[in-house]
Amino acid sequence: MHSAMQFRWTAMVATTVAFMVATTVALMLAAAPPMQAQVAVGISVNFAPPELPVYEQPVCPGDGYIWTPGYWAWDPEFGDYYWVPGTWVLAPEPGYLWTPAYWGWSGSAFVFYPGYWGPRVGFYGGINYGFGYFGHGYEGGRWEGGHFYYNRTVKNINVTNIHNVYSTTVVNRNETRVSFNGGKGGINARPTSEEQAAARERHVGAVATQQQQINAARADRSLRASENHGKPPIAATSRAGAFSGAGVAAARSGGNYSPPENRGGKGGGHEASSPSETAPSRPAYVHPNDLPKVNRSEQPPNSGNAKADQKYQQQVNKMYQKQEQEHQQLQKQQDQEHAKATQKHATAVQHQQMEQRHQQQTQQMEQRHTQQQQKMERQAPQPKAQPSHGGETRH
């Protein structure tokens, strides 16, 4: 008991310190000249992510979709990396390209730099994600006249359905599968002047379908590095959030990764002390529209008191109607803030801060609604007690 409590305390302190260090790094990078195209968020880890797995790219589902490569993300709840499968995504607007996320060594920890959409591809650590993302720039396609044209030599395109294609041979001289920049064993790459200029251009964070892919990956235990050892069974998908059926590709190589002991979180190589510690972590929803639909019954309870049942159901319907109004109001407010940020050409830092604020607002609303629903359930009419039949004793 004492050792378990001590481990939890150590993990909690380590997580707090790591967050403070990461936040300090983020503020320093935000204030400094833009040497890198992304700004670090409050995520830092003291050991490197696994190597990138090798996988086949699923066929493009339709015209206008752009490939976003898979990457290792971090789940502080379990102290574990997890794989976010690569997938095809529609750009938020014509002319925008995706700059992938990456991990970079800060001198004391591995810091996460999220991806973003923008007019040009910025710096992504020199990481070779494949399929056109070979370390610098993007060789998988280009925008022309409001239409995206695909390079057939590096993309899995069905030319029967997609006709805006071209063929340009690309020599990939960077064959490494290392997934981080800097530090011992990392990619030794620095941003070019063009990539630094891209960092100062208007950016848009991950779209809703990408957040859906992240949430689904984080909730899937098989995608944790400690479970798949660097060889995720779902390495890429044709569509975001579709983790089964046609269009799902498993990793062809990997499996040599072993996480360090006592890494923190609820994993850490230690047995969980309660069943709740083995449950998947709760997805982090950013916007109200990302929240799953509430599964509720439209039928009143059957307590035997029809009048009380009907009154209770009216109260339930009124509660959910009010919650849906709050849901729509918050989504409208956040959409307006997104539009305003786009009009003012907000920086990547400002977009990231806005998204963090939106996530906090959404989580607070979700928590408040859950508490209201639980309180309402406790007020439900109870079935009438059945009269006991005395005079008979059973042995």
Q: What is the pLDDT of residues 209-243, one digit of tens each?
A: 999 999 999 999 999 999 999 999 999 999 998 99
Q: What is the model's pLDDT at position 39?
A: 58
Q: What is the pLDDT of residues 175-205, one digit of tens each?
A: 789 999 999 899 999 999 899 888 788 888 8
119/121 Cα distance (integer angstroms): 7
- Please give the mean pLDDT across all residues of the chain: 79
The pLDDT of residue 298 is above 70: no
Structure tokens at 272: 């969980």
Residue among 99, 85, 188, 93 nearest 137 (CA): 99
* One-letter amino acid of 248: V
Q: What is the model's pLDDT at position 42?
A: 59
Contact, 45 vs 144, CB < 8 A?
Answer: no
Q: What is the model's pLDDT at position 326?
A: 92
pTM score over 0.75: no
Q: Domain ranges in the chain? A: 2-268, 289-378
Higher-pLDDT residue of 3, 332:
332
Would you place residue 299 in the very low, low, confident or very high pLDDT band (cuts 50, 70, 90)? Answer: low
The arrangement of strands across the sheet holding 102-105 comes to 44-45, 110-113, 102-105, 180-181
